Amino acid sequence: MNFKEEEMDTETLKNKKTITKNTERISGSEAVVRCLIEEGVKVLYGYPGGAIMPVYDELYKYQDKIHHVLSRHEQGATHSAQGYARISGDVGVAIATSGPGATNLITGIADAQIDSTPMVCITGQVPSHLLGSDAFQETDIVGISTPVTKWNHQVTKASEIPEVIAKAFYIAKSGRPGPVLIDITKDAQFEEFDFSYKKCEGIRSYIPIPKTEQASIEAAAKLINEAKKPFVIWGQGVILSKAEEAFKAVIEKAGIPSAWTIMGASAIPTSHPLNVGMVGMHGNYAPNVLTNECDVLIAIGMRFDDRVTGKLDEYATQAKVIHFEIDPSEIDKNVKTDVAVLGDAKASLEAILPLIKTNSHLKWHQKFKDLYQIEFDKVIKGDLYPTKEGLTMGEVLKEINIQSKGEAAIVTDVGQHQMIACRYAEFNQTKSNITSGGLGTMGFGLPAAIGAKMARPDREVVSISGDGGYQMTIQELGTIFQQKTAVKIVVLNNEFLGMVRQWQQLFFDKRYASTEMTNPDFVAIAKGYYLNAKRVTKREELADAVAEMMTSKEAYFLEVCVEKEGNVFPMVPSGASVSDIRLE
């Protein structure tokens, strides 16, 4: 079909529908929308443009069934889709046009890939007869996105759309979740075909959940039962597999001290007696140091990221390692495993529970308590109960905990504030810590909070950003205003790119190269988007301001001016062993 025929037939394709027994003759663009509805999509995020316009025209007609959110930038659309997925467990959806619209999705797609977030992205493409001709806004988005997607596919025929979209949703949410991209040429969007839809329930040669061997369950149970100093590190796999209750039952029965990666935070309450804190570069002192003293290390749904392990050849070398993991490629990738338990975490934990002996390990637990006291005296006390004049990031988090009672979902950007939030936020329910872990994407926080709040309007959602990352996606304030999304926005302003400045202070002789920020009037900008807004500069103003924000029924912006050169400790220096963690 050439452009002239396409223009002539557009109205015919919109209005003429031939009904058969099991099919309905519709355009490819309408099929896209109908497929999304069949998959249960209620909300999607995007930005229109020429190559995706036929789909947008159909979205206009189906507004009563599917709500499109106009993000202010395509990257914002992907992060909103991520936030939606992370708090709900459903697949997030983002849509964009060809060329720059499609390439602007890549950062969010890469973020979703490394953090195992289920997301389907749909991009428009130039007509198929122009592919490879360097047409206006043509980009090989399939080639570009291949390294950062779980699967991608280009559609050039309308008849492919139902099967491809069904497969996309299945792949995105099955096994270890991840992002999928579908690129649809414009002529395929206009083309008419006989539509029917069937959800995908399996793909030949794709095994999303590997079979769990009973022998590995028994071997893991034997090591756990014989351990004198067992230690659990859990990651997001516990949350993704909905294994929270099974996980809690196992550690409670075995009496094992358990620490979390930042992606695993909130799987069990912060206050749980077996929750000994966060591991990693800015994690807690005890779980980092005692990683190198435990005799059995049990990793559950985590991938031994370098920020967790530090220097690999000095990481837990004394311990037998048990790895519960759904993705076989993660086994032995970074840390050598003695027992690998492949499979879904929930099923594996439920299978091992009857084989676990009841234990308490009281002397071992006391070591964690003793080291926690050292960290409290040297770090935590100063962060949460400061005596110096400047406001600390920690005391802001403490006040949010008081006002939210640990029930809020905390969505963070990337930097010092992220580490402080992960260290000090209190979580009483799962799926409460939404952050960019593996990619470390500045600008993630604000749009991700929009998606989280739209997925769970019943929950309080607090976005916490630094002044640097906040300005990377500040335009999404327009999305908040237009959608009336009651996100609570906190910017901890230290007038620096704080994390980089900290490294410059500690390792580059305080040469603060290009890290000091000259910032705008954030409150004026928020008010320009018709949001309630306030700035706090003094400690005595903080409690009332946070209370006002948390009790607001509408979106609220709060800027807190914190100390300019505050650092985040503890800290494992890059390339150092976890045993070399610094408290100052």
Residues serving a catalytic function are 74, 136-137, 186, 499
| Residue recorded with tokens 């004394």 | 318
Residue type, 484: K
Which has the closest alpha carbon to 447: 413, 491, 396? 413
Q: Between the CA of residue 430 and those of 265, 266, 409, what are the distances in Å? A: 8, 5, 9
Peptide bond into 570 cis (omega under 30): yes
Q: Between the CA of residue 61 and those of 54, 56, 57, 58, 575, what are the distances in Å? A: 11, 9, 7, 5, 55
Which helix or strand (DSSP H or E) is residue 26 part of? strand 24-27
- The three-point CA angle 584-433-122 to 5° equals 125
What pairing do the DSSP bridges indicate for beta strands 339-342 and 320-325? parallel
What pairing do the DSSP bridges indicate for beta strands 119-125 and 92-96? parallel
d(CA 49, CA 75): 15
Which has the closest alpha carbon to 521: 482, 491, 489? 491
Residue 25 DSSP class: E
Which helix or strand (DSSP H or E) is residue 465 part of? strand 461-466
Strand partners, 154: 183
What pairing do the DSSP bridges indicate for beta strands 24-27 and 192-195? antiparallel
Cα four-point dihedral sign 73, 107, 496, 445? positive
Question: For residue 392, what are its two tokens?
Answer: 């600390």
What pairing do the DSSP bridges indicate for beta strands 192-195 and 275-278? unpaired
